[in-house]
Amino acid sequence: MPPDANAAPRVRPKSLVQEYLLEQLPVYRELRELREQGWQNKTGDIYFENRRQRADNANAIVKIGFFKLMRRIGLELDAMTAALTIQGGGNSRPAILDLCMAPGGFSSAALYRNPSALLRGISLPPSLGGHEMLLKKPWSETDPDAQIFVSFCDITLLADEMGTPVPSIPASHPDAASFSSDRPFLEQKFDLVVCDGQVLHTHERLEYRENFEASRLLTSQLVLALQRIRSGGTMVILLHKADAWASVLLMYTFATFSDHLRLFKPQNAHRMRSSFYLVATGVRQGCEAAVEAVRQWKAKWRMATFGVGDGGEEGLGEGELEVLESGGEEKAKAVLQEIGPALVRMAEPVFAIQAEALRNASWMKSAPV
């Protein structure tokens, strides 16, 4: 059926979220203006490119510095939210799962708060461009009974975990030989799960993955985490852009099966970046809403990996995938109606920290006005 020429143009969810925040938050309006100035400033481009180059070609000193930085961020997060401190009371030993673990700074902070805890991690092998493991405490990749055990693999290729058995994958798929049927730590339950992976420029991967790699990485972590967290446990999730529809939708989703949500952005690191952490406590792992979330994340992974949705949709572009998987304009309006005030309350400190950092950046002094 052809589109109705008289129908009102559809508004993308991203625009609805941004318009809502612009109306509600003066600091967000300032942040948007500062971002515009920064985008027009080539000095800022050079600053961030230099940082990327330094990270991608890090020497031993830089690597140790990054490890210590992540440890400080973890301890600051715990001081603000108590997210990394596992409350006792049960008979079982505290257990932590760190996804995309290396170099191990977050794990180091979590172990500092919970010295007796079992720690399990999944991390991209250094041979594929992953970070080197720098935890000082003894850890093992061969002894599953060790206090600290790490499984090295590409978490985005755990096909069976994502509901797609390896034998069902066509031999013609570019990564057909790389998918894995492993489901690490499936029989274990964790009090704390950290999902802080991000796409690495150093990660060697096929070209077809580039457009949706960030989505594949996040959904892979979320599926694995929610199927292993102990009921009532805590999840810490690295996200980008608190004004992005994908971030808002994820907050809304977690609100349906968590007792409490909070956003955290470090005061002393990554201030100019859009990154922040979603902290969900009292996660009700087996409830209907959580099960449905896992189902939807698996479907999104399949769409991003194979280009085919549950309904047989093929060859979708990025914007079309966003609408298909998120419900589009109507869904965005309903979400903002339900959690809009909470979003404003949670996101205001995140925007304020980034705005202050951009306002005081030395390279912003030469930005066009």
344 or 91, which is more confident: 344
DSSP 8-state secondary structure symbol assigned to residue 369:
-
pLDDT at 366 (0 to 100): 57
Flag the least confident range among 26-30, 126-130, 152-156, 250-254.
Answer: 126-130
Measured in whole angstroms, how far is the alpha carbon of residue 90 from the centre of its chain? 29
pLDDT digits (tens, 9 = 90+) for 162-203: 999 999 999 999 999 999 999 999 999 999 999 999 887 677
Say what the pLDDT of residue 299 is.
Answer: 92
pLDDT for the residue 321? 52
Provide the pLDDT for residue 319.
Answer: 45
Give the range among 47-61, 201-215, 332-346 with minimum mean pLDDT: 47-61
**pLDDT (0 to 100) of residue 90:** 64
261-266: average pLDDT: 97
Mean pLDDT of 75-87: 96
Q: What is the pLDDT of residues 17-30, one digit of tens each?
A: 999 999 999 999 99
Lowest mean pLDDT among 32-46, 192-206, 273-287: 32-46
| 8 A C-beta contact, residue 146 and residue 118 | no
Within 10 A of 136 (CB to CB), how many other CB atoms are there?
A: 8
Average pLDDT, rounded, for the chain: 88
Instruction: Report, as an integer, the average pLDDT of 121-130.
Output: 93
The kind and range of the H/E element at 192 are: strand 190-195
pLDDT given at position 314: 45
Predicted confidence band at 37 (pLDDT cuts at 50, 70, 90)? confident
* Helix and strand totals (H; E) in the chain: 10, 7
By 3-state DSSP, what share of the chain in percent is helix, strand and coil, each rounded to 5? 50, 15, 40
The whole-number average pLDDT for the span 249-269 is 96
pLDDT at 326: 59
Q: What is the pTM of this model?
A: 0.89
pLDDT band (50, 70, 90) for residue 364: low
What pLDDT is attached to residue 47? 61
pLDDT in the model for residue 45: 60
Q: Please check the confidence at residue 52 and state whether its pLDDT lies above 70.
A: no
Q: Which structural domains are found in the chain, ordered by start? A: 13-85+93-366 (3.40.50.150)
Residue 338: helix, strand or coil by DSSP? helix
